[in-house]
Chain A
């Protein structure tokens, strides 16, 4: 099932990607081809099969960290890579609420 241009635009908006009209057309075609291929999976009966959402052995659990403070970064270190700053804040364009 080919992906429509509208569908491509909807997904691009969700992903905060700006696509040129050429990219929209290109991606609609390429993603449709890839989806056709990957959806071979739909021919498989997976009922009752548990998903392997974590690549871990059965029964493994998350390790927990003790609630003990460790030193972090100074504000200047934190902001060292910032494209724009205001005082010790990251600066962004005006946010309209």
Chain B
């Protein structure tokens, strides 16, 4: 396998849309999915005479992200114009940061195969998003331009080429996503492109000191596609080098259907973005007061939180990782555990329900935890009902699903939906007797010792009790009635 003779050198450029209410340079809404060109104004349309007015929240969140990632937040940073023509770029230039970005350096730690590794960051800068070109919109093949997204704030987070495999890239992207979610600055949605990444990939022979020529890979809108794209690209480049052919520095598009990268139509002329400082925007200054305020607002970050879950609450590393992978899910867990109270045992149960049933429902509905109708206190109450034996495991599951979808009071739902568990000895005994009486042949087989039919009888009794029999009581009574008497003897 020739790939093993090569080292992969990989860096990621991530573009994260900030969850501000308005665009970076105008007061237009950033809400998603509106009618084309309904969230626009002269500024984001690039009309003559307009000027950009910088959104304070964008600066604050850039600083927050920088602090969370250990960057050196720059006291002075400058916006620049990046010049190129494209229909989705209204002004013919993108307002971005170039020579003096707001954050330099920093990094984040990932864990791959149990090994910790620091991935350094180059920089973080603020910029505006472009609009959307809608291809072949018209009958004549013409395209449409929708500028609702034009001017939505982006953070571009650039890593050093410290990643050495597709798996590391995936871990890095997951860790970065978790941090942005924990900070509440981005929704982490790869599929919709509000959290997207490009990969700079090159290969070099093991032991070599100079990096190979790199290709930039775009269009990887899931963790799986990132892995597939990088793996493909590495194989492609290794094959080229092995064959003595040059790797071309270019932009390549990942095609998820064919699982391969392909060269984007080469541009007519080389990129020459003609960056220069944006004269319409004076320098951005971040003073000590802003730094202190943002520092005080930093939440617990994913790695610290995972460590706490493992060390203080005794959760398995796997479960802790899943919870902190989505800050909102971890917040829900924390709140539910606080409402439930109790130690490691309670934590394990709350975690199981959060990671299991609730994650399933979240993935099914696409609703983030703050949008659920089930509150953390609601989950705590359901678990209390379960522990008290008031509802069965199945009943609790039904209850959680109903609360998740429709909300309501758990106690009241138990009554109105008839979910209360039957623990009454008399009622269960009557059901047991009825089942045994109705199946004399099976009872005979069991008592003759030919076959242990305890499980079968439990099922029959539970069925008779519509699934709401307290399993403990049912088991005890059956055991008494079946096993308490010698075989062959009647009642």
Contact = CB atoms under 8 A, between A and B. Distances in A.
Interface of A: 10, 13-14, 16, 53-56, 60-75, 78-79, 84, 86-97
Contacts of B281: 62
11 contacts: A61-B283, A62-B281, A62-B282, A67-B55, A67-B57, A71-B27, A78-B45, A86-B138, A93-B142, A95-B133, A97-B135
B314 to A, nearest CB: 41
Contacts of B276: 53
Given A65-B53, A86-B144, A90-B147, 13 more contacts: A54-B282, A65-B56, A74-B38, A78-B37, A86-B138, A88-B36, A89-B37, A89-B145, A90-B87, A91-B142, A91-B143, A91-B144, A96-B265
A65 B25 CA distance: 9
Contacts of B58: 67
Interface in B278-314: 279, 281-285
B87 A56 contact: no
B361 to A, nearest CB: 32
Interface of B: 20-22, 26-29, 35-42, 44-45, 53-59, 78, 85, 87, 133-138, 140-147, 264-265, 268-269, 272, 274, 276-277, 279, 281-285
B27 A70 contact: yes
Contacts of B279: 53-55
A73 B142 contact: no
A94 B87 CA distance: 11
Q: Choose among B58, B137, B147 the residue with the greatest number of A CB atoms under 10 Å from its CB.
A: B137
B129 to A, nearest CB: 16
A48 B141 CA distance: 55
Contacts of A95: 87, 133, 135, 143
A14 B142 contact: no
A13 B269 contact: yes
B27 A89 contact: no
Contacts of A72: 26-28, 39-41, 44
A14 B41 CA distance: 28
A10 B135 CA distance: 29
Q: Choose among B20, B134, B268 the residue with the greatest number of A CB atoms under 10 Å from its CB.
A: B134
A97 to B, nearest CB: 7
Contacts of B20: 67
B145 A73 contact: no
A53 B268 CA distance: 31
Q: Is the interface of B mostly helix, strand, loop or mixed?
A: loop
B143 A92 contact: yes
Q: Choose among A13, A70, A73 the residue with the greatest number of B CB atoms under 10 Å from its CB.
A: A73
B269 A10 contact: yes
A94 B29 CA distance: 29
A56 B59 CA distance: 21
A87 B35 CA distance: 10
A92 B40 contact: no
Contacts of A10: 269
Contacts of A65: 27, 53-56
Nearest to B134: A89
A68 B27 CA distance: 6
A54 B143 CA distance: 38
B283 A91 contact: no
Contacts of B78: 53
B283 A69 contact: no
Q: Choose among A71, A94, A95 the residue with the greatest number of B CB atoms under 10 Å from its CB.
A: A95
Contacts of B35: 75, 88
Contacts of A84: 142
B121 to A, nearest CB: 24
Contact of B145 (A54, A75, A90): A90
A12 B75 CA distance: 38
Nearest to B153: A67
B282 A56 contact: yes
Nearest to A55: B279
Contact of B283 (A62, A68, A70, A71): A62
B411 to A, nearest CB: 41
